[in-house]
Each structure stands twice: as structure tokens, then as C-alpha cells.
Amino acid sequence: MTDVAVIGFAQAPGERHSPATTNGVEMLVPIFGEIFKATGLTKDDIGFWCSGSSDYLAGRAFSFVSAVDAIGAFPPVMESHVEMDGAWALYEAWLKILTGEAEIALAYGFGKSSAGNLRRVLALQLDPYLVAPLWPDSVSIAALQARAGIDAGLWTEAEMAQVAARSQADARGNPKAVAARTGGGTGDPGGEVAELLSRPYVADPLRAHDCAPVTDGAAVVILASGGRARALCDRPAWITGFEHRTDSGSLGARDLTVSPSAASAGRAAGAARAQVAELHAPFTHQEIILRRAFELGDQVRINPSGGALGGNPMFAAGLARIGSAATEIMSGQADVALAHATSGPALQQNLVCLMEAVDPALTGRRLSAR
């Protein structure tokens, strides 16, 4: 089986209210151009395309088919779609390369989260019989999870505010973060923890700085098989672990203060070896849950991009975590980088991708050896 590496990443600047249509074409065309320029590839080099998006978010049927216009899909291309974050589209693309059906694959995700009321739209991912008829919104459900951990003594509102303050500071250095370009994002960029804690609750015990901003955006990642990756990229981000797991969909039947699915996926992928981690935590307390699930020590840099708290384009933010972590490798900042993506309420589904700088051909540390 071949080795597979990330060799390119691009993302649209996160926006609070993009003028783009919900089919994503206007956000995707520029970043396809950017990633092709950076990698020296053209659309004809891509053997497999896979996207992540949602018609519920778009408010229209088959929005992902309209998005295919951005590819220029003629002559016909091999193409697929997942109704999940683009990180899961990347997983499918990775499998396509592992099975030898493609040498170079491109995954993209897009979401215009501002088109509808995101808190209500996300209620429809809940159990349609017992939960969705009550329209519990995404922020309120995250608040139930945050409270459970506070009550159990696992974290405090001050520790959550520390996550927010650090994320805001990092997001200010990321030109693609919505927080960097609006001068605010969720909280005051200069906000100290004590000041953040003086602010009102939006969903007790969550304050605005605890919640990712509603963000429109898109992201794209290119994968290549071993030989192609070595030729195309000076320092490919070799994928040495790629796993995803899910917890029960019944919110009241699982312990919301931990993430067994993230922990299991992380152990299988070797997450604890990471020097830097891009964690898809749309709420501050979820970063704390994930750090513990992945057994990341204090020496591990967390979300140098600012993470989802700096910009959380639905269906693209998880893929952007993988792209951001890969960039840490490709740019020489790190040798082992962890990326995580989540989907569903209260961290229900979790995907991890471990990437390394050392060529697996030299170390034998490769998936096929497992």
C-alpha cells in the first residue's frame, strides 16, 4: 500500500456574512486557483474529487452538485460528496489513494453558515423523534455539556476564558480567521480573562467568547501518493494515522464531559506524539475535553491558527484544521502534527489525522505496517 501525504492547503477568508451564494462556487473558485498555483498542478492532475457540505445549511437541494461548477468537471471527473465536514471527504479521498484508484486527490468543504439561523439549522441534526421537535439549538446543547463539566469539577469558566483569550490572540495573527479581520470575533481581542468573565452569558454557562463565530467559508486540501508527493512537495505532511469514531446520538445516555470516540480515534492514530495540534473545538470547553482525550501535554502547541474560535465555517472548519496542521509540517514548524475534526452535537463524531515530516519510506512508520 502506498504512503499518502498532504501536499497543499488553501482556505477562503472567513466571513460573517459572505455575499456568496450557498452553493459555494464563489468561495471555491479562488482557492482552487490558489492551491493549483502553489502545487503546480492543474485540474487535469486530480484523479478524485470529494466535497463536504450540507443542503440544510444551504437551504437548497443538491447544492453540492452546483458546487461542482467550480471544478470545471469536463471531461467528466471521478467525484463524490459527504454530508459532513470536508475532513470526512478527505478521509474518502485518502482511501481512494490507498486503494490505488487515484494518485492525487482533492477534498474541499464549504458552508455559508449565515444564510439561515445556524442555531436552528443544527437542531435538525438531532434525533428526529425525541429531540429535534423541541428545536434545542446548538449553543444550548454545548452549554449543557459545559455545565456538566463545571459541575463535575473538570474545568472552570476561567479555564474556558483562558482558551478563548489564547485563541483570539492567535487568530489575530491568522489573516484567514474571521476574528482577525473583524477586529473582534467572539470576544474582545485584548480581553483579559477577568474582563471576559465579567461579560453576560449567551447561554449560561457560555459567554460569547466561548462560542465560535458564525462563519462563511471554504477550504481545500490536496493529497498525493508517495511518489507523487515526493516529487511535488519539498516537505510533504505524511499521514501516519487517520481514524474516525462516533459516540451515541443520545445526549442523555452518554457522559458529555468526556469524548470516548475522540480518545479511541486518537489512540489508534498516535495522537499523543504530536508537537502541535489543530483541534476543531467550536466551544472553549470542548478544547479542554479534546486535549484530555488526546493526552496532549502542556508542551503541545494548541491551535496556532486560532482554531474554530477564530472562524468556524461549517463543513470546512474541520478540513481547515487538517490543512493548518499540515502547513505546520510543510513549513518546517513541526515534525509531528495532529489535526482533529468534529461533527454533530457536543463532539458526537470525531476524526483525527496525524501527520509527520519524516518520510515513511525511511522509517517504516506507515499505515500498512500496522
Partner 1 sequence: MTQLLHAQLEISFDYTRSLGPTLGAFMTALADRRILGARASDGRVYAPPFEYDPVTAAPPAEFVEVGPGGTVVSWSWMPAPLDGQPLGRPFGWALIRLDGADTALLHAVDAGSAELMRTGMRVVPRWSERRGSGITDIACFVPAGTRDTVLADEGPAGEVAMLTTPIALSYDHTVSPGESSFLQALAQGRLIGQRCPACGKVYLPPRGACPVDGVPTETEIELPDTGIVTTFCVVNVPFTGQQVPVPYVAASILIDGADIAFQHLVLGCQPDEVRMGMRVAAVWKPREEWDTSMRNIEYFEPTGEPDAPYDSYAHHL
Does position 59 bind partner 1 by CB under 8 A? yes
Are 7 and 232 in contact by the 8 Å Cβ rule? The answer is yes
Taking CB under 8 A as the binding criterion, the range among 70-78, 223-231, 237-245, 302-310 that sits at the site for partner 1 is 70-78
User: Which residues, in sequence order, are CB contacts of 212 under 8 Å at separation 6+?
Assistant: 186, 282, 283, 308, 309, 311, 312, 317
* Residue 68 is a binding residue for partner 1 (CB under 8 A): yes
Given candidates 7, 20, 160, 339, which one binds partner 1 under the rule CB under 8 A?
20
Part in contact with partner 1 (CB under 8 A); list of ranges 62-70, 97-105, 277-285, 290-298: 62-70
Q: Which is nearer to partner 1, 29 or 95 (CB)?
A: 29
Give the rounded distance of the alpha carbon of 136 from its chain centre. Answer: 23
Strands 48-52 and 79-82: parallel
Please report how close the Cβ of residue 318 comes to partner 1 at its closest, in angstroms: 23
- Name the burial class of residue 369, with classes exposed (0-12), middle (13-18) and buried (19+) by CB atoms within 10 angstroms of its CB: exposed
Binding region for partner 1 (CB under 8 A) out of 15-23, 187-195, 263-271, 336-344:
15-23
The answer to whether residue 73 forms part of the interface with partner 1 (CB under 8 A) is: yes
Closer CB to partner 1, 68 or 302, in the complex: 68
Judged by CB, which is closer to partner 1: 209, or 366? 209
DSSP one-letter code for 234: S
Residue whose CB is less far from partner 1, 143 or 341: 143
Site residues (CB under 8 A) for partner 1, limited to 113-172: 114-117, 119-121, 123-124, 128-137, 140-141, 143-148, 151
| Residue 38 exposed, middle or buried by CB count within 10 Å (0-12, 13-18, 19+) | middle
CA-CA distances (angstroms) from residue 33 to 27, 47, 84, 104, 338? 11, 17, 24, 16, 27
Among all chains, which residue has been given the C-alpha cell 498542478? 41
| H-state helical runs in 218-369 | 226-232, 260-269, 284-293, 317-330, 360-363
Task: State yes or no: residue 62 binds partner 1 (CB under 8 A).
Answer: no
- CB neighbours (10 Å) of residue 42? 9
Q: Is 72 in the site for partner 1 (CB under 8 A)?
A: yes
Residue 68 or 224: the one with the smaller Cβ distance to partner 1 is 68
Residue 37 touching partner 1 (CB under 8 A): no
Q: Which of 11, 23, 261, 305 binds partner 1 (CB under 8 A)?
A: 23
Binding flag, residue 205, partner 1 (CB under 8 A): yes
At 104, list the grid cell: 492525487
Could you tell me which residues are beta bridge partners of residue 354?
241, 338
Instruction: Please say whether the beta carbons of 250 and 128 come within 8 A.
Output: no
Among 1, 40, 60, 368, binds partner 1 (CB under 8 A): 60
C-alpha cell at 152: 463535575
> Counting contacts by CB under 8 A, is residue 364 touching partner 1?
no
Question: Are 322 and 353 within 8 A, CB to CB?
Answer: yes
Contact residues toward partner 1 (CB under 8 A) are 19-23, 25-26, 29, 32, 43, 56, 59-60, 66, 68-74, 114-117, 119-121, 123-124, 128-137, 140-141, 143-148, 151, 201-206, 248, 250-253, 256
